[in-house]
Structure formats: structure tokens, C-alpha cells
Chains A and B, each alone.
Chain A
Amino acid sequence: MAHTPAIPLQARNMWRYLPRGGWLLVAPLMVLVLGLFLGPLTNIMVISVTDPKPGLGNYAALFQSDALGGILWTTLRVCVLTTAISVTLGYCIAHAMIHALARERNWMLSLLLVSFWISVLVRTFSWLMLLGRNGLVNNGLEAIGLITQPIEFMRNELGVLIGMVHYMVPYAVLPLLASMQTIDARVLAASRNLGASPAQTFWRVYLPLTRPGLVAAALLVFILSLGFYVTPAILGGGKVLMVAEYISVQILVTLRWGTAAMLAVLMLGGVLGLLFVMSRFMKLSTVFGGTKP
């Protein structure tokens, strides 16, 4: 235990008489978040119905403009695909980790967390090097004679998907791990003893038991994908326009705050709605704090 400096007597006395309640300790962060975050967020919601003129004009544009519809459709499609692939891959990893020996599990967890922590910019840059026309993947495939023409990985949805899945898999694994840890191994043993094959035990006992984790993982990945900016912007090369990038163009280039705010409100509604659904399946704190094995 580190030596803690003595506190001046006066301060000590002052603290002794302060109310014991915790609100005093909560207040500083609360004030900061209210003033700098929740307040301005409300302001964005207001802008969506007041800019450029009061009314629901920005929302009506959703049904009139083909461009907006196309962007929403692209976003949904990419997010659904990313979620499906990431959760499937994440399930394989989580399942293998749970059944590995402690030593091996620690190694796997380390790999997972390191990838979790590597900057998204570094990872996107690496994919740019790997997937370009003259990238490592195309050159490699050409060298071994599998392809004669370079495959177009970038500036299309394929590249965006690869980059996004690569980013999201660790987010899918963590809630799945948390959920798999709670499964009582005796249930599986019982299933085997009652004559079920390993495959039957997996599909009919294990998989249904992990459903809360699956739902939580899918919702988490979907929520994060909805607002993902960096990877689609770089690997999509302007060809795969998703909501987050479109919002930034509206604000920084065309200065149409109303449209941007309307899209932000839609996104916000989607995210908060999904979080609410998620909270019914899992304690949210286990998802966000669930990095411990």
C-alpha cells in the first residue's frame, strides 16, 4: 500500500462535516456531461426540426429524396452483413476460448485484446496496403497464379465489409464469452449421457443457452456499425456512402445542418432503441466491462 500524504487538519475537519452522501462526488462529472454533451445533443435534436425552417421538412425529405433512401439502405445492408459475419466468427472464437486450457485461453485473450486495442487508423491503413490493386493480397494471388486480373477489393462494399468485420469481431466475442461462462457444464454432460451426439448437444442445448449472449453481441456490433465512420470512409473511397460519412459531408462541406441533424436523430433513435432491447437480454455493464475472462 502506498504512503498517502497527510491531509491538512482544516481540510480534514471540513470533510468530516460534509454530508456523507455520494451525490457530491457524482456532481462534477454530471455537470460536465450535462453541459458539454447532453445539452448540445438536445440542441441537435432541435436543429433537426428548425433548420432551415421550422417543421418536419427534413424528415419529409427522407421519402422524397432517392439519395437519402439509398444511403440509409446501404448503411442498413452493410451493418446487417457486418453483424452477421462478425457474430458468427466471434462465436467460433468465444467457443474455442471457453473450451481451451487456461494457459491457451490467456494467449487467445491476449491476441483478442491486442487487436481490440490497435488503433482503427492503423488497421484501416493496413487494409489499404493489403487490398489495393497492387496490394499484397492481389500480388500474392497473382504470383501463385490464382488470378490474372487484380480483384477490386476497395472502393466497394467488399472492402468496407472486410475492414468493418475485422474491427467488430472482438466486440462480438466479449459478450459471447460472458454468456458462455455462465453455462453449467453439467447440462452438457447430461445431454451427452442421455445419448445425444456432440453435434446434437451443441445445436439443441448449447446454442439455445447462449442466445442472450448472441443477441447482445449482435446488437452491440450493429449499434457500433451504424455510426462507424473511419473504415467506410477510407476503404469505401467515396463509393460506399454510409450515414456517418454523409452527415460529416453535410456539416463540413454543404453546410446543411438540418439534414445532418435529422440523420443524427434517426441514428440516435436506432441506437437508443437497440440499447433498450439489449438491456432486456443482458446487464449492459457485463457487455461494456466484460474484458475479464
Chain B
Amino acid sequence: MMQKSGLGQKINRVWAIFLLVFLVAPALVALPVSLTPKRFLSMPTDTLSLRHFEKLFTSPEWISSFVQSATIALTSAAFATILGTLCAIGLWRISSRAGEVVRAFLLLPLVIPPIISAMAFYRLFVPLGLIDSYLGLMLAHTVLAAPLVLITVSASLAGFDPRLEQASRNLGASSMTTLLRVILPSIRPGVLAGAVFAFIASWDEIVVTLFLSKFNVYTLPRRMWNGIRENTDPTVAAAAVVLIGITIIAFLIWALVQRRARTQNS
């Protein structure tokens, strides 16, 4: 710790808190807009109304988008979590230079701009007939989300003592038993964090979705994108409020998982 905080540091502290509020606060403007009684995007003046939430939860289009997004995100997150976890364990066991090269390649979907990924998927999916299909989006989202799981699980594995695995094997457990009953329980926080990240990555994904979906598949981000572009219907604001709520819940789950992991370690 620093011995004494200077004046500059005190000013910077206030400034930083202001900046952090600036990062979160603008999103909250969706709340008053969603409560406007008017038919167009506006701030409520004297009365509040829940009509746009009512519309959000009764309109077949929005409900269908919610269900589609949830289906695609849950499936992609499940695939990404399984593949990413297995791969992380595999790379951890290999721990060689070749393994690290493979890891770098597997992380590419994370760093390559989504617009380029969208092009690549689009070009591949048109001849395969996967455009505007659930399967196509699920596959694309799995590829995009798996690196996140790979990262979180690898971080957990870094703190796992390999001797535990050896002990389990020496005591006669098979690879599979060791994997399920020794390795997985110890890296569970990483797997759970990865699953949450993967879910959010798919749930929020818009750029690749814009290219791969047309009429059949119409996810929530896609509907929001259109709503924002048209810039008239306050239902978008209600949807934004619901999304912020989901984000906060997901964050709380993640924070709890992290805290439990920390208390277990110490």
C-alpha cells in the first residue's frame, strides 16, 4: 500500500467514481422511456404506464424472439461448455508447445472482428442450406463462445494440482472416473463461469446473427436491432429494461460463483 495518498490521488478517486457511474448510468435511461404512456419513444411527463411491458410480454413476435434466443443461447452454451472444458483439460494435459499453438488458433474466433466471422459463416452456410436455420446459428454461436469457456476453465486448471490426478490414477481410477470425480469438481467454478459467459455471448450476439438469419429465426437482438433502426416503438425500451435485469442477475450468479470459489480456496 502507498504510505499516504496525495491530493492528486484523492481527486482521481472522485473522477474514477464519476467515470464508473458514466459507464453504467446511460443504460438506465431505458427505464423511464419504457414507462412512457405514449405510443412513441419519449420521456414520461406526468403519468407512468406499463403498457409497453404488457405489449412486450403479450406480443407473439417478442415472445417468439425471447424463446428463440433462449433456445439458441442455452444450446450453444451447453455445446460450448462441453467442448471448451474438454479441450481445456486436453491442452492442460498436453502442456507442450504444439498445444499452445493449437490454443492460440482456437482462441481466434474471439479476437477476429465479428463482421469477418459473419462473412466466413455466411459463405459456408449458403451452399449448406443453413442460412436462417436454428442449427446454423447454434453452430456459429458455439464456435464463437467456446473460446470463452476455454479461457475460464484453463484459468481454473492453472490452480489445480496435477498430483491429484496422478494420485487418483494410482489408486486405480480410470481416466473417465478421474475426469468426472477429481478434475471436474475442482474446476467447477471455471466451468460455471465459462457457461455463463458462453450464454451471454450467444444471447447478445447480433452481427453474425444479422447475416445468418432472415425470417424464420428472429432472435431478440435481431428484433431489438430492427426496433432501434426504426426508432419509434417504446417496446424496445421495455425489452432493454428486461435485458438489463437479466444482465444484473447473470452478474450476481457469476459473483456468487467467484466468491464461493475464493472461500473454498482459502
**Chain A bound to chain B:** yes
Q: Which residues of A contact B (CB under 8 A)?
A: 1-2, 4, 7, 11-13, 15-16, 18, 20-30, 32-33, 36-41, 43-44, 47, 89, 92-93, 95-97, 99-100, 108, 110-115, 117-130, 136, 166, 169-170, 185, 188-189, 192, 198-199, 202, 223, 226-230, 234, 244, 247-248, 251-252, 260-261, 264, 267-268, 271, 275, 284-285, 288-289, 292
B194 to chain A, nearest CB (A): 10
> A234 contacts which chain B residues (CB < 8 A)?
228-229
Contact with A126, one of B6, B9, B29, B93 (Cβ below 8 angstroms) = B29
Asked whether, in the complex, the Cβ of A202 is within 8 Å of the Cβ of B30, the reply is no
Closest to B223 in A: A121
A113, B87: Cβ atoms closer than 8 Å: no
Q: Separation in Å of the A191 CB from the closest CB of chain B?
A: 11
A-B contact pairs, 21 of them (CB 8 A): A4-B181, A16-B175, A26-B91, A29-B86, A32-B143, A44-B120, A47-B123, A92-B16, A93-B16, A97-B16, A114-B251, A118-B247, A119-B224, A121-B228, A126-B29, A126-B240, A129-B30, A169-B23, A227-B115, A248-B210, A251-B122
- CB pair B244 A118 closer than 8 Å: yes
Asked whether any CB of chain A lies closer than 8 Å to the CB of B202, the reply is: no
> B78: CB under 8 A from chain A?
no
Q: Is B106 an interface residue (CB 8 A)?
A: yes
Interface residue B50 (Cβ < 8 Å from any Cβ of A): no
Identify 17 new A-B residue pairs, CB closer than 8 A, beyond the known A1-B185, A26-B90, A234-B229.
Answer: A26-B87, A27-B90, A33-B146, A92-B12, A111-B21, A115-B20, A119-B243, A121-B221, A122-B30, A122-B243, A126-B26, A136-B29, A170-B23, A185-B1, A248-B118, A264-B119, A268-B112
Residue from A27, A136, A275 within 8 A of B43 (CB atoms): A136
Distance between Cα atoms of A24 and B91 in the complex (Å): 10
Contact B116 A111 (CB under 8 A): no
List B residues 223-240 near A (Cβ within 8 Å): 224-225, 228-229, 231, 236-237, 240
Judge whether B258 is part of the interface by a CB distance below 8 angstroms.
yes
Question: 9 tightest A-B contacts by CB?
Answer: A227-B113, A25-B90, A96-B16, A198-B6, A22-B90, A22-B93, A15-B176, A40-B120, A115-B23
A119 partner residues in chain B, CB cutoff 8 A: 204, 221, 224, 240, 243, 247
Q: A29-B87, A136-B43, A248-B210 are in contact. Are A41 and B106 (CB under 8 A)?
A: no
Contact A229 B115 (CB under 8 A): yes
A288 to B111, CA, bound (A): 10
Tell me, rounded to whole Å, the shortest Cβ–Cβ distance linking A198 to chain B. Answer: 3
Q: Which residues does B use to contact A, with CB under 8 Å?
A: 1-3, 5-9, 12-13, 15-17, 19-24, 26-30, 33, 41, 43, 83-84, 86-87, 89-94, 99, 102, 105-124, 139-140, 142-143, 146, 150-152, 154-155, 174-177, 180-181, 184-185, 200, 204, 206-207, 210-211, 221, 224-225, 228-229, 231, 236-237, 240, 243-244, 247-248, 250-251, 255, 258
Whole-angstrom distance from the CB of B131 to the nearest CB of chain A? 12
Main SS of the interface on chain A? helix
Chain A residues with CB under 8 A of B28? 126
**Are A199 and B211 touching (Cβ within 8 A)?**
no
Residues of A within 8 Å of B86, CB to CB, are: 25-26, 28-29
* Distance in Å: Cβ of A181 to nearest Cβ of chain B: 13
Residues in B whose Cβ lies below 8 Å from that of A100 = 13
Q: How far is the CA of A198 from the CA of B113 in the complex (A)?
A: 41
Complex: chain B residue closest to A162, CB-CB: B26
A4: chain B residues at CB < 8 Å are 180-181, 184-185
Query: What A residues does B24 contact at CB under 8 A?
Result: 111, 114-115, 118
Minimum CB distance partner of B248 in chain A: A114
Give the docked Cα–Cα distance between A92 and B155 (Å).
27
Chain A residues with CB below 8 A from B124, complex form: 36, 39-40, 43
Do residues B146 and A32 form an inter-chain contact, with CB atoms below 8 A? yes
- Among residues of A, the one whose C-beta sits closest to the C-beta of B5 is A99
CB <8 Å contact, B15 and A92: yes
Q: Are A96 and B231 in contact (CB under 8 A)?
A: no
Taking a contact as CB atoms under 8 Å apart, the answer to whether B225 and A260 are in contact is no
> In the complex, how many angstroms separate the beta carbon of A282 from the nearest chain B beta carbon?
14
CB distance from B117 to the nearest CB of A (A): 7
For B224, the chain A residues whose CB sits under 8 A away are 119, 121-122, 125
Residue from the list B99, B111, B150 in contact with A271, Cβ < 8 A: B111
Interchain CB contact under 8 A, B84 and A29: yes
Interface centre among B16, B146, B206 (most CB of A within 10 A): B16
- Which single residue of chain B is at the shortest CB-CB distance from A35? B124
In the complex, the answer to whether A32 meets B83 with C-beta atoms within 8 Å is: yes
